[in-house]
Amino acid sequence: MEKITLDNKPIFVTGAAGFIGSNLVKRLMNDVHGATIVGIDNMNDYYDVSLKEYRLKEIEKTDTDNSWTFVRGDIADRQLIDSLFEKYRPAVVVNLAAQAGVRYSITNPDAYIMSNMMGFYNILEACRHYPVEHLVYASSSSVYGGNKKVPFSTDDRVDNPVSLYAATKKSNELFAHCYSKLYDIPTTGLRFFTVYGPAGRPDMAYFGFTNKLVKGETIKIFNFGNCRRDFTYVDDIVEGIVRVMAGAPERKLGDDGLPVPPYAVYNIGGGQPENLLDFVNILQEELIRAGVLPQDYDFEAHKELVPMQPGDVPTTYADATALERDYGFTPRITLREGLRYFAQWYKAFYHI
């Protein structure tokens, strides 16, 4: 592994107004020194844009000696990406921009091809023409599809995606491997497992459930509650990303005298899958504790057990031992702690 210092470097973060991207930028602004941090986001309305604007304002509040530039634009715009790389010459690139969501990919496939395929290709081409020290990019636990073996390991074959979203993320890993091999670009893919926390995505279960419960609506628990998810708190994800940014796969030659691709893929997950029914019970308790829901809330009257949705998988469970081995990192925040932070944020943000 090649150690990389992040201080006094240009760093490019795509999806910077997104949930993970904005938290990463805040962390870099606080912890890195003398860096030029450039973020890009197209600010699309897949979910409430005011949340993205809120996250950007939180970044602006950071007291830092780093320079911060935000560009409203799309990574699918090749000309724009090339011009930004030419201007800033980033040393480290973190590609978090993507059209997210499994179910949305069934009804709006075009958005996934443009952002997740064309957009990522543009980033790779820019890294090729304006050489970088390390490209870190978001993959997803969804690449495991209906994998029966648990926990999911990066050594498992992942050739059977069950959604277009998953197929685009697997394609990103293949693209990255190709560019690592052909152009000796160090790339690391991170397979995220169900990321949650304050100011997260409203289409994620914990946020969507909360919105419905507050309105007195019924929440649907898929697969009759027989789903397990490896929830990962956003600060744990960011900690993992920052450590990975600072350690790139080593450039070296193989026995044939040709470069061995400086390529790696890791899981980042809690390593502790939670049953969906246990998860909603903890969520309910923390929402009551924070005062988002009243003490006497009749939770049983507001939940409905329903069959599995197309594109969903019954279990996600990360084997994150490789990340611990190579970067000394294991997620720390328990589900109850994380949902408590979310409930407190939700009460403050929505003035309940």
Of how many residues is the chain composed?
352
3-state SS class at 343: helix
Give residue 200's identity as a one-letter amino acid code.
G
Burial class from Cβ neighbours inside 10 Å (0-12, 13-18, 19+) for residue 145 reads buried
- Residue 58 burial class via C-beta count within 10 angstroms: exposed 0-12, middle 13-18, buried 19 and up: middle
Task: State both tokens at 336.
Answer: 């109850």
- Which residues 6+ apart lie within 8 Å of 227 measured at CB? 275, 276, 308, 312, 314, 315
Q: Which residue has the tokens 């973020």?
A: 39
The residue type found at 255 is D
Token pair listed for 294: 């009243």
**Chain centroid to CA 240: how far?**
11
User: Please, are residues 323 and 267 in contact by the beta-carbon 8 Å criterion?
Assistant: yes
For residues 270 and 317, what is the distance between their CA atoms, to the nearest angstrom?
Answer: 8
Q: Which residue among the candidates 165, 263, 317, 346 is catalytic per the annotation?
A: 165
Select from 210, 190, 181, 206 the least CA-distant residue to 279. Answer: 206
Interatomic CA distance for residues 167 and 116, integer angstroms: 10
The candidate with the shortest Cα–Cα distance to 142, out of 119, 172, 117, is 172
Distance between CA 294 and CA 301 in Å, rounded? Answer: 14
Q: Is 183 a catalytic residue?
A: no
Active site residues: 165
